[in-house]
Structure 1
Amino acid sequence: MSDHRTQFEATAGGLALTNAILLYRSQPIRNASPYATARAGAAAFASIHAIEHDDEGKPIIGAGTSLSRAHLRQWTEALGRTVLPEFLPDNVLVAHPDMLAWWIPTQVRPAYFALTDPPAGLQVLAARTTMPVPYPPHLFIATRSGFGVYALPANERPGIDTPVLHSPVLNVYLDGQLCWGNIPKPKTLTTASIPEFERGVFDSWSTHPNPGQELTITGKGGLVRLWDDLAARKAKRFPVRRLRPFDPGRTRQASRRATRTDQMTLGKLLARGANQ
């Protein structure tokens, strides 16, 4: 069994160990990390304790009381004073310790294609190649548990009610999550890490559509042939009208039954991300 120890020492800022918070949860998962959060639906309880000292001056946990919202506000405010202010670029929508969301406008940029099983009749993408292609405006939502990639219907900053579309990028799963492959993942959720996230989307090799991606666009030919056509004619604008509204459980039948009220919006995506 590993031995987890934490050593507290006085600092130049005069910090001293004053309190301890104990966390309780029902039916802990066997072999789970001691630092894992309680699973959904599990009962949980927390208590806060003063730190006392024995005759030798060693800290011990004293009697406690239930952790209240007032305690949480007090400690959140105190901890927040150590967070440095951050300048937010115009394209950032949400900047939070657990979520980073931003958008980028439509643009033409190099794309990397190395299709493992290219369909017959492709004009330029049958062989490994790098070609400039147009991308629609994109929305990105990074959380502690994943990185979502979506397209937007208009080349403007989205609002809470803006509908979200499936991204045509081949390395994106049907649920909007990026397939990282062997690309290093950013370690932080700060505006400084935005270029790293975007490199994961745009600077990786596209080898094949992910399962279900052919259902994310309208019209004939499929997603690979659409990219092939755009690359072959050196298009400057992506046909956003061909992208379907984002639906992580999309099927052909569900696609026909979808109504306007079913549409996923930026606000709904942010709410989903906050609950992950």
Structure 2
Amino acid sequence: MKNITDNFGTMYTPVKALVVFQKNDPQGSTYIESYDMNANGYPVNAHPLSLTESAALANALDTSDELRRNFLKPLGLLPKNVLYINPDYDGYALWYTPAMEVALFFLDKLAIPNGKAAIPPLIWKASKKELYIFAMDGVEAIEEQTPLYRAPFFNIYDDGRVCMGTVSVDVRPDCLLQEFMQLWESYFFNSYFSHLLGGKSPVRGNIIQLWQSLIGSGKAFPIPELVKNGRTLKKLLS
């Protein structure tokens, strides 16, 4: 037989095992027994859990909890463009960006040159693994009943979910809020737009001609070209 262990990734070696015993009585008294692990991975040297071992276990658990507590924690004051934060470990953030000019990239087959163009105000909803983007007609009075429009880009499904394609999304468990937002915006704008999803144009006219006319022109994004998707901002708070 051939030894292939050198081909494995990082190996973790068992060093300690804990067994929790509980009395079968109304008080349910608990006793924890600790085992060391020998070179073959078998438990040996059974003994009551010591104070040193208890402290080491508490530190390990506290580190895990600390990572969770830092997820979406703001670095300083809460950014003014943040609308909502669900700080659970599997939570999400909701924020907006105003109308602005950004660099956009397109695959050659679309016949749209890469370059800077104006985009409308956007609503972003992101978790550790998924991103949703919607457009708005302004940012003067954002509230729960604010109507949402389809984001006027390629690679976005009808429900607003972004297809990240080959982009490798890597959001750390302790990612702070500002870093989280910058990371997702960077993922989106630094990837190449390639095709439409869902079979419908996200704008009223021809989306290719729209971006051909906007790239490098310095013109504002034509808000009347946006298409409502029948949702309001409140729908995203779930």
Give me the TM-score of the superposition, normalised by structure 2: 0.65
Distance in 1 separating the partners of 2:236 and 2:223: 20
The residue matched to 1:101 in structure 2 has which SS?
strand
Partner of 1:147: 131
Give the conservation status (yes or no) of the 8 Å contact 1:110–1:132: yes
Distance in 1 separating the partners of 2:125 and 2:168: 17
The structure-2 alpha-carbon separation of the partners of 1:193 and 1:50, relative to structure 1 and needing over 3 Å to count, comes to farther
Partner of 2:9: none
Q: How does 1:178-193 map to 2 (within 5 A)?
A: 178-188=162-172, 190-191=176-177, 192-193=179-180
Give me the TM-score of the superposition, normalised by structure 1: 0.57
Rg larger for: 2
The residue matched to 1:224 in structure 2 has which SS?
helix
Where structure 1 has 5 or more consecutive residues not aligned to the other structure, the ranges are 10-16, 21-48, 60-78, 119-124, 247-262, 272-276
Deviations 1:215-246 (A, max 9, x none): x222x4x11111112226x1431112211112
Deviations 1:140-197 (A, max 9, x none): 1012452101111213362211111100121222221111122221314641121110
The structure-2 alpha-carbon separation of the partners of 1:209 and 1:19, relative to structure 1 and needing over 3 Å to count, comes to farther
Q: How does 1:1-276 map to 2 (within 5 A)?
A: 51-53=30-32, 56-57=47-48, 83=69, 86=74, 87=76, 88-95=78-85, 96-97=87-88, 98-116=91-109, 118=111, 125=112, 129-144=113-128, 146-156=130-140, 158-188=142-172, 190-191=176-177, 192-214=179-201, 216-218=202-204, 220=205, 222-231=206-215, 234-246=217-229, 263-271=230-238
The residue matched to 1:180 in structure 2 has which SS?
coil
| Residue type at the aligned position of 1:105 | P
Number of aligned residues: 185
Q: In angstroms, what is the RMSD of aligned CA positions? A: 3.4
Higher RCO, 1 vs 2 (CA within 8 Å, ≥6 residues apart): 2
Deviations 1:31-56 (A, max 9, x none): xxxxxxxxxxxxxxxxxx87423594
The residue matched to 1:150 in structure 2 has which SS?
strand
